[in-house]
Structure 1
């Protein structure tokens, strides 16, 4: 799980698998994309907070694809490295030891997608 582009690779590896399944069940993917867009849009909570929340759920579920996707989303939405670290701390508090493993992975993913963070 090392490498400067690991989480980019995770998403690249999943892309053809998703494409093949999406061709079989396009309505399900369309509905999932719509609910994702609605759930992650700016509202009372900012998009970057919502992406961090989704990343935290990926940590608790042990889902590298979720971590990669939402770490990228959080970075793109303007989350800082400090915000990502604090969000990960909450997932560790709620999920314990396994979250320290996936939390570290999520922090690496966030840093991979947000290399210009000045914090």
Structure 2
């Protein structure tokens, strides 16, 4: 699965390539396997997008997590944590992880 470029990177690549380079470098450093696996960090990002009500982000990141080997059960448990920490809004946004476009 090819990783999609986040929508905000498209104009940055054209108008501010230095900033795009900095963001890419930071993302690569932060999301790399470490004490936590890249997959776990990706699920954490999905959780944050659910709490921030970024429904398209939840979908995109869930698909990225699946590409890294995340199971539907792992995604479901992550959505449960979004519900626990963010209430019904976290759950409502989180279920976009299961959306089929």
| Cα offset, 1:103, TM superposition | 1.1
Answer yes or no: is the 8 Å Cα contact 1:56–1:88 preserved in 2.
Answer: yes
Deviations 1:45-81 (A, max 9, x none): 1111111000010111111342233112211111111
Shift of residue 97, structure 1, vs aligned partner: 1.4
| Structure 1 segment 1-119 matched on structure 2, within 5 A | 15=7, 18-108=9-99, 112=100
Cα distance in 1 between the residues matched to 2:32 and 2:70: 14
CA distance in 2, matches of 1:73, 1:39: 16
What's the secondary structure of 1:96's corresponding residue?
A: helix
How many residues get paired?
98
| More divergent stretch after superposition (29-38 vs 60-69) | 60-69
* TM-score (normalised: structure 2): 0.82
Please list every run of 5 or more consecutive structure 1 residues that lacks an aligned counterpart in the other structure. Answer: 1-10, 113-119
CA RMSD of aligned residues (A): 2.2
